[in-house]
Amino acid sequence: MSAPPNPTGAAGRRLAALAEGWRVYRADRGGLFGLAVLSLVVVLALLAPVLTPPAELDVTRAGGAPLRPPSAENWLGTDESGRSVLLLTWWGARMSLLVGLSAAVLSMLIGTVVGLVAAHFGGWVSTLLLRLTDFFLVLPALVLAIALSTVLSRGVLTIVLAIGVTSWPQTARLVRAQTLTVETRPYIERARALGGGHRHLLGKHVLPAVLPLVFATTTLTVASAIIAESTLSFLGLGDPAMISWGSMLKSAMDTGAVTAGAWWYLLPPGLGIAVVVLSFTLCGRVLETVLNPRLRGERR
C-alpha cells in the first residue's frame, strides 16, 4: 500500500544518465584513444610481476652486457648494469602510476575539504583558508617539494606527500567557486528552512553537485603529478631502490648514457611519461565536456 521509494526507477534513470555520458565520451576520438592507452598501461603495469621475472631487475643477476643498443635479445637495449631497458620501463610504469594516482587523490582530498569549508562557512574561516591557499599557490611547488623530501625520509610516501601538498590549491579554488555557486540555489535555502544542519547541506546537496567537477580535475592532476614525480626522481629525491621513469632518466644522466649516445636508454622512459600524461589529459578533457554540457559545442 505504502509508496516505496521505487529504487529500480531511480537507479534505472541513473544508469541511463551514465549511458548518455558514455555516448558523449565515445564520440570523442582523442578521449577513446587516451582511455585505450591508459587501460593498456594499467593492465601491463599490474601484470608486470606475473609476465616478467623480477629477478632480472637485480643488478647482480643481470644477463646482458652494459649499454648495448637494441638487439633481438634485448629489444630496447640494456642499461649501464646490463639490465633490459624494456623491463625497466615496464616496471617503472608501476611506480609512476602509483605515485601519480595517490598524489592526485591526496591533493583532491585536501583541495575539496579546504574549498568546501572555505565557501560554506565564510567569515574568518574562509579568510584564513584562502590566505593559506594563496600561499601555496604562489609558492614554487618544486622548491617546496624538494624541501619536503629533504626534510622527510626518502621514499615513495615522501614523494606522494610532497606532490599532494603542493598541488591542491587549484582544486581548492575550483571547489570553492563551484560551492559558492551551488549555495546560492534556492534548494539550499529550502534545505536550511527544513532544519538541515551543515552536515546535511554539504553531504546531501553541495558535495554531490561539486564531485563531478572534482573528478574531472583530478584526472588532469594525475598527469601533472606524474610529471612532478619524474622530476623529483630525476633530481635524485626519490627512493633509489625503486625503479621509476624519472630515476631511469637520472641514472642515464649519471652514467654518461647521454654523452655515449645511448638513445635507447633515454627514449623509452621519456616517451612513457609523455604518452601516459597525454592520455590522462585527453581523458580529463573529455570527462570535462561530458560533465559540463556547455563545453560540448566548442570542442568539436
Partner 1 sequence: MTPILRLDGVSVTYRGEDGPHRAVVDANLTLRPGATLGLAGESGCGKTSLALAVLRLLPRSARVDGTILLDGHDIERLTWGELRAARWTSASVVFQGAMHALNPVRTVAEQIAEPIRLHSPERPAAARVRARVTELLEQVELPGARRDAYPHELSGGQRQRVMIAMALACDPRLIIADEPTTALDVVVQAQVLALLRRLVSERGIALLMISHDLSVLAASCRCLGVMYRGRLVEEGPARQLVATPEHEHTRALAAAFPTIGDEGSRYPGAGEPGESAGGVRGSLLAAEGVSVEFGDRYRNRVRAVRDVDLEVMGDEILALVGQSGSGKTTLARTLLGLCPPNAGTVYYEGRPLATSGRELRAFRGSVQLVLQDPTGALNPKHTVYEAVAEGLRVHGCADDEAVRVREALEAAELRPAEEFTARFPHELSGGQRQRVVIAGALVLRPRVLVADEPVASLDATVRGEILALLLRLRRERGLSALVITHDLGLAWNIADRVAVMRSGEIVETGPVERVLTEPRHDYTKELLAAVPSFEGSVS
Minimum separation from the CB atom of position 205 to partner 1 (A): 6
9 near partner 1 (CB under 8 A): yes
Interface residue with partner 1 among 2, 60, 153, 259 (CB under 8 A) is 2
Among residues 13 and 299, whose Cβ is nearest to partner 1? 13
Interface residue with partner 1 among 5, 123, 140, 297 (CB under 8 A) is 5
CB 26 within 8 A of CB 287: no
Instruction: Supply the angle between the helices 207-234 and 85-121 in degrees, to the nearest 10.
Output: 140
Q: How far apart are CA 290 and CA 20, in angstroms?
A: 9
6 near partner 1 (CB under 8 A): yes
69 near partner 1 (CB under 8 A): no
296 near partner 1 (CB under 8 A): no
Among residues 121 and 135, whose Cβ is nearest to partner 1? 121
Among residues 201 and 227, whose Cβ is nearest to partner 1? 201
Minimum separation from the CB atom of position 181 to partner 1 (A): 12
Ramachandran region, residue 196 (left: φ > 0; alpha: ψ -120 to 50; beta: rest):
beta
Q: How far apart are CA 165 and CA 109, in angstroms?
A: 10
Among residues 70 and 196, whose Cβ is nearest to partner 1? 196
Q: How far apart are CA 211 and CA 110, in angstroms?
A: 14
**Phi and psi angles of residue 62, each rounded to the nearest 5 degrees, phi first:** -60, 140
Minimum separation from the CB atom of position 105 to partner 1 (A): 24
CA gyration radius for the chain? 23
Closest CA to 142 of 225, 85, 62, 204: 225
Taking the CA of residue 156 as centre, how many other CA atoms within 13 Å lie in the half-sphere pointing to its CB? 14
Residues 184-213 that bind partner 1 (CB under 8 A): 185-187, 189-197, 200, 204-205, 208-209
13 near partner 1 (CB under 8 A): yes
Which positions lie near partner 1, rule CB under 8 A?
2-6, 9-10, 13, 185-187, 189-197, 200, 204-205, 208-209
